[in-house]
Amino acid sequence: MGKDIKLTASDNFQLGGYRADPATPPKAAIVVIQEIFGVNHHIRAVCDRLADEGYVAIAPSIFDRVERNFQCGYSPEEVAVARKFVANPDWAAMLRDTQAAIDAVKDVGPVGIIGFCLGGSVAYAAATKLSGLSAAIGYYGGAIVRFADDKPKVPTQLHFGEKDAGIPLSDVETIRAKSRSMSIPARSTAFTAMNGRVMTRPAPISPGPAASRSLPGI
């Protein structure tokens, strides 16, 4: 359904990506931000699923500045290689590349952003810093706590797993508390405690209602 594309960031850097378009007139557009595994088969499948739901979906390859076309699976060896991309992340560069994806689909209509793990943190940062978004969703963004003092400019929904050992619940509570101190409307930032990570790489776990609620509209 989808196709590989090229994007150009504001500093003229050219990066790759993946785009899937619906068979019917689109409802809106969604930028999909990867985990540390690149724009791999799973991220492409997420884009295809969103296209099936009636959205234009676009996933920028935000690791292209380090290694072009990087994508991998989930074996321990592959995970170890993928971790090198987040040892010292260039957040500003990733946001420039994310803005390029937003700009590429803004003619469709409203643009939302959804991200997973690293991408969840990028999605939150995009909600606070970038232009052209109407909504943002972040799944288990471990670095969101670093940006928790920054107020989202658009309605933003965050999902964390209450049994996710990778993100301390104390970080989630910090994010929750800071969002309250900013007087963000109650419906702008929601926290969903789940038994694990949903909407992530294929795994024998049911996504449950939290995932299905976050996808239908922007």
In this prediction, residues 12-20 reach a mean pLDDT of: 98
The answer to whether residue 193 scores a pLDDT higher than 60 is no
- Cα-to-chain-centroid distance, residue 111: 13
Confidence at residue 161, expressed as pLDDT on a 0 to 100 scale: 80
Confidence at residue 205, expressed as pLDDT on a 0 to 100 scale: 30
Instruction: Tell the residue number behind the tokens 């099936």, with chain if given.
Output: 52
Confidence at residue 216, expressed as pLDDT on a 0 to 100 scale: 44
In this prediction, residues 130-157 reach a mean pLDDT of: 93
The answer to whether residue 69 scores a pLDDT higher than 80 is yes
Question: Which residue type, as a one-letter code, is found at position 206?
Answer: S
Confidence at residue 20, expressed as pLDDT on a 0 to 100 scale: 98
Read off the pTM: 0.87
Better-predicted residue by pLDDT, 171 or 184? 171
List phi, psi (to 5°) of 192. -120, 115
In this prediction, residues 93-108 reach a mean pLDDT of: 98
Which of 29-33, 71-75, 126-130, 185-189 shows the lowest mean pLDDT across its residues?
185-189
* Mean of all residue pLDDT scores within the chain: 86
Q: Are strands 3-8 and 135-139 parallel, antiparallel or unpaired?
A: unpaired
The answer to whether residue 138 scores a pLDDT higher than 60 is yes
Confidence at residue 204, expressed as pLDDT on a 0 to 100 scale: 32
In this prediction, residues 9-19 reach a mean pLDDT of: 98
Better-predicted residue by pLDDT, 198 or 135? 135
The answer to whether residue 176 scores a pLDDT higher than 80 is yes
Confidence band, pLDDT 50/70/90 cuts, at residue 199:
low
Q: Taking the alpha carbons of 121, 124, 129, 135 in that order, is the dihedral positive or negative? A: positive
The answer to whether residue 149 scores a pLDDT higher than 70 is yes
